[in-house]
Amino acid sequence: MAHETIDGTYRQTNLPNESPEYLARRDELRLAEIELMRQRERCAELRRSLPKATPIADYEFLEGPSLDKGNEPIRMVRLSNLFTAPDRSLVVYQMMYGKKQTRPCPMCTAWLDAFNGVAHHLAQSIDLAVVAAAEPAALRAHAQARGWHRLRLLSAGDSTFKYDLGSEDREGNQDSTISVFTRANDGTLRHFYSVHPRLDADIK
């Protein structure tokens, strides 16, 4: 798509009645968007170049059958069981639900609605799971109401997984977190990266 520069302004539309003030402000925004894009690319490069992390425990979780097959039996699965093949990253969305968070987080629910819609595409290159502090029955009831049939749903149970990864404090308050894990050929599990909405104390 070809765009023109007219009177020193890079035009993204061909509308004839845009005011000089609007065009100037829109171009200021365009330059800020370019700066943001380049900063995102820098962040992505920093993320990719993180050094190898230390090994982590093979955490245990509770998992039920497919959502359309009731809530029993509940079985124990380990973090290592969530990897479906070698050389694949495991992405875990840690949902705010359970303990002090007595109701499912609406924002987490919105994100997981979206993940459920694209899970079959993500599965081409990564493994994806959802972990919540809620008991399996409560988590599954919410998932059934939302139609999350493409998501792997796990309860953290008595595991320290959520606390260790920073998505839960000692009092049981919850935070949403996305964590990425890797598994080496010898079976060693490593935490690669986690990100939280609040990256600093002054971010609310």
- Topology classification of domain 60-195: Glutaredoxin (3.40.30)
Q: What is the mean pLDDT of the chain?
A: 90
Contact indicator for 60, 159 with CB cutoff of 8 Å: yes
Tens digits of residue pLDDT in 163-174:
999 999 999 999
Give the residue extent of every domain in the chain.
20-50, 60-195
Residue whose structure tokens are 């845009």: 18
pLDDT > 90: percent of the chain: 70
Tens digits of residue pLDDT in 86-136:
889 999 999 999 999 999 999 999 999 999 999 999 999 999 999 999 999
For helices 106-122 and 136-146, angle between their N-to-C axes, nearest 10 degrees: 70
Can you tell me the mean pLDDT for 11-36?
A: 87
| pLDDT recorded at residue 13 | 76
